């Protein structure tokens, strides 16, 4: 009796992915979910053409716009991880709110290099950054507002540097404008006043100082109109003061200007009195000389009354 034919054992059919993955069981398990290579490549093609940003951002268009800066999910993940590490480090700690306790505010300022007092902003300023005495009240008020908002010193320094530059430009522009106005006023008044120009300026200065005092005189000389023109660079103002001075000081009104108006007054009276004594007949017919002498007598009486 011949031997029976050998029985071939039944073995499970191999998965299509086994020849691809070899001994890598993890990859084999991942691919077992696909019944055929076609199914795997169908899903692969769909994933390959899909924008990963859509899954992350959903319908948030603003977030979608932010994700456009990243070329891949890996880039985005690295950026997110760095941001989280920075936040945990306390570098961008949330500033204290309006209801924060004083000790919390103090701790936040200390951790972020913010001075305890407003004056701390002005300490250790870089070379070349100077605050004038006139500007200190402005800065103290401004820096006080910054301190309430817990602004870091860098912001305060930037503000100080900007203000100094702005103020310097303003001063240069004002100085240039003052020079232009002064030249215009001087040219006009020299033409109007002629040889009395210097005497009229001295008369104006004397009137203002004797009437208002030295301190007020300086303030008036430095005063300005709304358009920035200095009071004393306005021909109308100077003409007004000149007329006022001559009315208040009759010696200057009728006597030739000189270093000593009263001496000039007395000298002219002596000349006319000598003329009257030595040439009486001629003087009696000289109406202008008679009127002039009466005017001078009247001026001397008024000056004596004024002391």
279 lies in some domain: yes
Per DSSP, helices labelled H in 113-152 are 136-148
248 lies in some domain: no
Phi, psi of 58 (to 5 degrees): 65, -125
Four-point Cα dihedral 278, 279, 284, 290, nearest 10: -60
26 lies in some domain: yes
51 lies in some domain: yes
* CB count in 10 Å sphere of residue 200: 22
DSSP state of 229: -
* CB count in 10 Å sphere of residue 166: 10
Phi, psi of 223 (to 5 degrees): -70, 160
186 lies in some domain: no
212 lies in some domain: no
- Total domains, the chain: 2
Could you list the residue range(s) of the whole structural domain that residue 43 is in? 15-60
191 lies in some domain: no
Tracing tokens 């059919």 back to the chain, one arrives at 13
Beta bridge partners of residue 230, listed in sequence order = 224
307 residues of the chain, pLDDT tens digit each: 455 555 545 455 677 777 776 787 887 777 777 777 777 766 666 566 667 787 778 888 887 888 788 887 788 778 777 767 765 665 556 777 778 888 888 888 888 888 889 888 888 777 777 888 888 888 889 899 989 888 888 888 888 888 888 888 988 999 999 999 999 999 999 999 887 788 788 888 888 887 888 888 888 888 898 888 999 999 999 999 988 887 776 665 554 444 566 777 788 889 999 999 999 999 899 998 898 888 888 878 877 776 5
277 lies in some domain: yes
């Amino acid at each position: 009796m011949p031997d029976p034919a050998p029985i071939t054992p039944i073995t499970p059919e191999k998965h299509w992915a086994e020849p691809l993955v070899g001994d890598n069981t993890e990859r084999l398990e991942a691919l077992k979910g696909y019944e055929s290579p076609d199914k795997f490549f169908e899903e692969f093609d769909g994933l390959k053409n899909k924008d990963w940003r859509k899954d992350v951002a959903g319908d948030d268009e603003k977030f979608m716009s932010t994700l456009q800066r990243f070329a891949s999910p890996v880039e985005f993940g690295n950026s997110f991880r760095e941001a989280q590490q920075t936040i945990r480090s306390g570098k961008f700690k949330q500033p204290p709110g309006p209801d924060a306790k004083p000790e919390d505010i103090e701790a936040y300022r200390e951790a972020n290099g913010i001075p305890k007092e407003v004056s701390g902003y002005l300490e250790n300023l870089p070379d070349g950054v100077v605050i004038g005495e006139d500007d200190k009240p402005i800065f103290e008020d401004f820096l006080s507002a910054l301190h309430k908002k817990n602004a870091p010193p860098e912001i305060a320094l930037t503000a100080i540097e900007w203000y100094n530059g702005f103020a310097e430009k303003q001063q240069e522009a004002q100085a240039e404008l003052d020079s232009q106005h002064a030249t215009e006023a001087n040219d006009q008044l020299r033409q109007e006043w002629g040889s009395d120009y210097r005497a009229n300026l001295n008369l104006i200065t004397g009137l203002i100082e004797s009437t208002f005092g030295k301190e007020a005189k300086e303030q008036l000389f430095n005063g300005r109109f709304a358009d920035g023109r200095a009071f004393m660079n306005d021909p109308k103002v100077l003409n007004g003061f000149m007329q006022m001075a001559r009315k208040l000081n009759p010696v200057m009104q009728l006597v030739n200007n000189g270093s000593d108006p009263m001496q000039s007054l007395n000298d002219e009276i002596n000349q006319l009195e000598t003329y009257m004594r030595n040439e009486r007949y001629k003087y009696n017919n000289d109406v202008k000389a008679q009127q002039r002498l009466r005017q001078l007598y009247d001026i001397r009486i008024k000056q004596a009354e004024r002391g």
